Amino acid sequence: MSDWLDTFATFLANFRYADLPDSTLDQARYVLLDTIGAIACGAQEPEMAAANARLGAVPGPATLIGAGRATTPSAAALLNGMAGTFLEMDEGNRFARGHPSIHTFGAAWALGEARDVSGHAFLEAFVLGYEAAARLGMAAPLKPPLHPHGTWGGLGAAVAAGKLYGFDAAQMRDLVNVFSSLTLASSKRTMLEGGLVRNAYAGVSNQMGLMAAELVLCGFDGERDGLRSVFGNIVAQRFEPEVLTAALGEVWQIEHNYFKRHSCCRYNHGALDALEKLLVAHGPLGIGAIERIDVQSYRDAAEMDDQSPRNTLAAKFSVPFAIASRLVTGSSDVGSFTWDAVRNPAIQALAKRVFITEDPALTAMLPQFRPARVQLRCVNGKVLEANTDSNRGDDQDPYSREELREKFRALSGRAWSADVIAQTERDILRLQDIARIADVSTRWSAEA
């Protein structure tokens, strides 16, 4: 028997919406708004549109956000999870070292629609799923070659589904153990090379989390201590179960998340934020005035050194491209990582003059900080420098609520009319008062 797992499962089964702090609920609603915007926008990408048409063709009660149709809960969990990662605009958690919401939301919303649940029931399940996923990410730092997508995040989908089904403590315990055997061991190299299959990982986790709950309902069980077995021996560097139970119900990880406005991997953000400081201090720079740019950052960021990314996904995981695109286009939003940007000869040329290396002292600052230093050398010999420890959008340097609403409107504008965007914003920010979440998503199915 595992005392930690009994404690964890009992907490998940017994916790109720009424015990969630107002600050946690407020943050959760903005996380939901952000996640829905990322999915709606990502669904417009050609590969994602094709996947929605092919894999979401069977009708059902669960909405494909931004696609104008509904399908089975299993397919919606998969496809909405995929769409939300396509543009690298989904929120994350620096202590978990990954993205709890997009691994939880797809399964939770699809099952919530199918079971006709209320807004407060959904919020209860979603926040608990987010908490479980984030704590597992904290308790089990992955081995360096693994990608955080598709690994620990599926626990969030499973827990949210179990909560929506009303699982008791024994069922929650079985659920955690069943999920453990359904996790992926996804490769970080895939993202660095721009392999689009990487965008399926979070979707698969949503689908597997939902399936884990269904399997428990069918009588399936797993190893007696599956998380310790899988994460302690196979995919993680270590497993610290006490992290999963410390201060449960007192500290909520969703309040320590980050939001993204740079449309690229979070590991780029330190360099981009430092570059912004440099440009504010010294003014805009002509591309021809730049001889080279040197970036020092932590290990994970230093791995993203591709100066000639082959597609839009690889571009989002390239510090040289992100820096070059920001300087050429004047932005780091969705439009700066399109095929037009990847093929832009000015960006291509400048990216070859951007170099990134690891500074072990900066790596040692993780996970509390995400530091970077940028040194820009001009052709006239002048050297400009800037650095940052924290990244915009986390709880150390947060975006305002209005900035987050502006981001939602900009992203969802690729999918919906202004009226639907405005009503969705109102609905999500008062979700606890909504009697049926399906009433919210009915509007999404009316527009493609």
Structural domain boundaries enclosing 280? 266-388
29: its two tokens? 């609603």
Please provide the size of the chain in residues.
Answer: 448
- Say if residue 219 is in the same domain as residue 247: yes
The sign one gets for the Cα dihedral 306, 312, 313, 316 is positive
pLDDT score recorded for residue 443:
87
- Say if residue 305 is in the same domain as residue 249: no
- Say if residue 272 is in the same domain as residue 252: no
Per-residue pLDDT 10s for the chain (448 aa) are 479 999 999 999 999 999 999 999 999 999 999 999 999 999 999 999 999 999 999 999 999 999 999 999 999 999 999 999 999 999 999 999 999 999 999 999 999 999 999 999 999 999 999 999 999 999 999 999 999 999 999 999 999 999 999 999 999 999 999 999 999 999 999 999 999 999 999 999 999 999 999 999 999 999 999 999 999 999 999 999 999 999 999 999 999 999 999 999 999 999 999 999 999 999 988 999 999 999 999 999 999 999 999 999 999 999 999 999 999 999 999 999 999 999 999 999 999 999 999 999 999 998 889 999 999 999 999 999 999 998 999 888 999 999 999 999 999 999 999 999 999 999 999 999 999 999 999 988 765 5
Other beta carbons within 10 angstroms of residue 340's beta carbon come to 12
**Which among 25, 38, 137, 128 has a CA at the least distance from the CA of 81?**
38
- Say if residue 254 is in the same domain as residue 270: no
56 falls within a domain:
yes
d(CA 292, CA 311): 23
pLDDT score recorded for residue 1:
45
d(CA 46, CA 98): 25
- Say if residue 281 is in the same domain as residue 239: no
- Say if residue 341 is in the same domain as residue 223: no
pLDDT score recorded for residue 426:
98
pLDDT score recorded for residue 447:
59
131 falls within a domain:
yes
d(CA 148, CA 339): 26
**Which among 259, 282, 343 has a CA at the least distance from the CA of 308?**
343
- Say if residue 320 is in the same domain as residue 240: no
395 falls within a domain:
no
- Say if residue 176 is in the same domain as residue 49: yes
396 falls within a domain:
no
324 falls within a domain:
yes
Other beta carbons within 10 angstroms of residue 392's beta carbon come to 20
pTM confidence score: 0.95
Please report, as a single letter, which amino acid is at residue 388. T
87 falls within a domain:
yes
pLDDT score recorded for residue 446:
62
Three-state SS string across the chain, please?
CCHHHHHHHHHHHHCCHHHCCHHHHHHHHHHHHHHHHHHHHHCCCHHHHHHHHHHCCCCCCEEECCCCEEECHHHHHHHHHHHCCCCCCCCEECCCCECHHHHHHHHHHHHHHHCCCCHHHHHHHHHHHHHHHHHHHHHCCECCCECCCCCCCHHHHHHHHHHHCCCCHHHHHHHHHHHHCCCCCCEHHHHHHCCHHHHHHHHHHHHHHHHHHHHHHCCCCCCCCHHHHHHHHHHECCCCCHHHHCCCCCCCHHHHEECCCCCCCHHHHHHHHHHHHHHHHHCCCCHHHEEEEEEEECHHHHCCCCCCCCCHHHHHCCHHHHHHHHHHHCCCCHHHHCHHHHCCHHHHHHHCCEEEEECHHHHCCCCCCCCEEEEEEECCCCEEEEEECCCCCECCCCCCHHHHHHHHHHHHCCCCCHHHHHHHHHHHCCHHHCCCHHHHHHHHHCCC
Residue whose token pair is 């943050």: 27
As for how many domains the chain has, the answer is: 2
CATH of the domain at 303: 3.30.1330.120
80 falls within a domain:
yes
159 falls within a domain:
yes
- Say if residue 354 is in the same domain as residue 279: yes
d(CA 381, CA 246): 54
90: its two tokens? 């989904």
216 in Cβ contact with 208 (< 8 Å): no
- Say if residue 29 is in the same domain as residue 166: yes
The sign one gets for the Cα dihedral 368, 375, 355, 347 is positive
- Say if residue 124 is in the same domain as residue 30: yes
CATH of the domain at 251: 1.10.4100.10
Domain stop point among 388, 409, 428: 388
- Say if residue 51 is in the same domain as residue 86: yes
258: its two tokens? 């980050």
